[in-house]
Amino acid sequence: MNIKALQRAGVLFLVLVLAGGGASLADELKQPTQAEIAQQVVVDDGMKAVMKSFLSAGLTYDSLPEGASGELRAALEYWKGNKDGLKEFAGRLGKLAGSNREELLDMIRSKKLREFAVVALDESASGAFHNVGPDGLKKLVAYSGDALDDAGVRALDLLNRVEDAITATGKVPAHLANDLKTALQQLSPEQIRAARKLLSEKGTKAAVKDYLVKNPGVIGTFVDGVFVLAFDVPALLALNDAEEAAASATGTGFGFAAQTAGTAATAALGGGFLPGLVVSWSSSQVKELVTEMIMLQYDRANASMKEQWADMELRMNAIRGMLKVDELLKAGKTEAAGDYLAKVERYAVEHSFPNEGIFEKIQDLKSVVAKAEERRAANQVIARARVPYMYGFRLASQGRNLTMARAYVEEALAVLTEAQGSHPELEDRVRQVQGLIAQIDRMIAEAPPLGQATVSGPDSVAPGEVVHFEVSLTGGIPDYRPLDMGGYGLSTGAVFYWQAPAEPGEKTVSFRVKDDKGQIGEVVKSVEVLAVNEEPANEAPPNEEDAKFLHLGQAGRTDIFEITVTAVAKASYWTKDKKEDEEYIVVAVRFVNISNEEESIGANDFQWVDSQGYRNGIEQYSGVKTDESMPDTFGAKTLSPGESFEGSMVYLMPKNMNRVEFHYLKGYSLKPDLQFLFHK
């Protein structure tokens, strides 16, 4: 994919600014950065890989449900910025096409593919430590990259000593706590996250958790069920937005927003772009009480304030009680929160201690409890509206598929306005959504005209061969859609599938592309359809000896399989050493089971012939990474009748060997079932 072409594409970006309870929309548009362009290229490549795997599984573009291209791309967009994750997710979609086609098609029809992407994203990263046990966390703390890290090893040792001290004596010596804080501050952000998670795991022990909760200033404490390191607190105080400060501390979030937002802070605000209503105490109030708890703990450690220790303990108990009520509200246990708050209020009345602000906070919390159920119901409405809103916003922020973006945002508006009569508090969210629709309308009206289209693809093809051409386009409103023939749209143009006619000769192929605004661009290309015995221009000319072989793109048949060598490429990355005069070659092959029974085929069934006439099998453990355009490597595959599969195999060959004879042999047969020939 040509990144410079992308930069010229005129992709429009929308700047959203959050202010107060809603988001204000900026009128100015900005051009994409180099990083944003690179991310878009990765999504385009992922789209190509998915469509290629669909074709290999027998799913043609025409057989997919209407709107499949947009739905597939939308799902891939959620992985933007995570190249490896996107490639893995694209692979999952390809496997679904082969193993559970009806489920895949149903997700596309019902527009559930985006939710599948969100779930997959959650499985991949529900934090960096999804399904990581204590042993794995210890390694993450102790290692930096592939090597042991001195600071990490020291921190891990101190963590273990802290746990032992709490278990044995019920307290942590001051020098040990200070050493741990110092050690933790020397770790990388990734190591600190692992250490925090490890402390949280250790906190499942009753004795340890009880100590950490009662002594928050020593190492840290639990807030909203999440462990917070004590040295995080000064950094929280420096944040400008109190809501974001507390959210960063607690790591809380809910629903869809936690997957689409970039930080815990925006997650706690309902995704930032369509925030929910505050059901419990605001994050700033939580932060205020946690900070006071830590300050009281520091004061209690001061011997000169010994006479005030009892009062401090009473006040800390009241604060703990209010935080417990807040946790119950966040968990949806409104009735339990009300009962617990009554106990906290009774405790504050019955005990005499300096209670400045305590009773006011209790009264405020009572009003929050009273409104909790009503606001929780309103948040369920917002949660339903958030999915289409966020998808529409995502497209609008990229200046792509604005008509579709508007339709999704209108869907969100319909959800909110239908419920507004029962929940007047949704008024701000309705106004926010209406503002986004108005901004999208302006973007559509101001879109630039289409630029000149260009096309790339083969200059010559075999009769009846299906090939693809990529049309690149600038201007207008991406994504573009192919017209008049099969294919799929990209943010930079479109991919077309064209089947050559049976008659040889030069053909003029016309490619028409339509943008989201309805503007149409056109480009033509001359393609030579070769005679039956001709080879494509990029292949070596056949001779009498070569005529008995199958060549690239030509399918051969046995009683069981139809096999085609589809591509050959030189590897650009490997981990296993090789000789200077050798090179790794990747061969892509497509199989179709043409029998009436389930059959298996393996990479070891394919071998190349060296200059001495000996056959050589695949090269194992080479560490070769296949190019984006090549299918993944495989070991063996079982295919049902009619099922197809495409995979790659890696071979180690002499650099000076250009003409390669390639055999398919079933089992231990001496005579090849099929003989192929290709040139490197």
Helix (H) or strand (E) holding 445: helix 427-445
Could you read off the pLDDT of 67-114 as tens digits, one per residue? 888 888 888 887 776 777 788 888 888 888 877 788 788 888 887 787
Residue 431 vs residues 88, 413, 426, 435, 624: alpha-carbon distances, Å? 39, 9, 9, 6, 53
pLDDT at 242: 33
pLDDT block averages, 10 residues each, the chain of length 680:
34 26 37 60 81 80 79 81 77 80 82 70 46 63 69 81 77 79 76 69 58 59 45 35 34 25 26 56 68 67 68 85 83 84 88 78 87 80 83 80 90 94 90 88 89 92 88 90 88 88 94 94 95 54 70 90 92 85 93 91 91 86 80 89 92 91 80 90
Strand blocks (E) in 423-462: 454-456, 460-461
**In the chain, what are the domains?**
3-127+379-445 (no CATH), 183-253+268-375 (no CATH), 454-529 (2.60.40.10), 546-679 (2.60.40.1240)
Residue 626 vs residues 102, 571, 588, 630: alpha-carbon distances, Å? 29, 7, 10, 6
What's 588's DSSP letter? Answer: E
What's 404's DSSP letter? Answer: H
Greatest alpha-carbon pair distance for the chain in Å reads 106
Amino acid letter for position 290: V
Record the tokens describing residue 254, joined without a space.
Answer: 């809910």
**What residue has token string 């390809």?**
94
For strand 220-223 and strand 226-229, is the pairing parallel, antiparallel, or unpaired? antiparallel
Dihedral sign (CA 294, 295, 298, 304)? negative
**What residue has token string 């089947």?**
499
Helix (H) or strand (E) holding 637: strand 636-639
Tell me the whole-structure pTM to 2 decimals.
Answer: 0.42
What's 479's DSSP letter? Answer: P
Cβ atoms of residues 618 and 604 within 8 Å: yes
Choose among 381, 382, 384, 400: nearest CA to 392.
400
Could you read off the pLDDT of 244-270 as tens digits, one per residue? 333 333 332 222 222 222 232 222 222
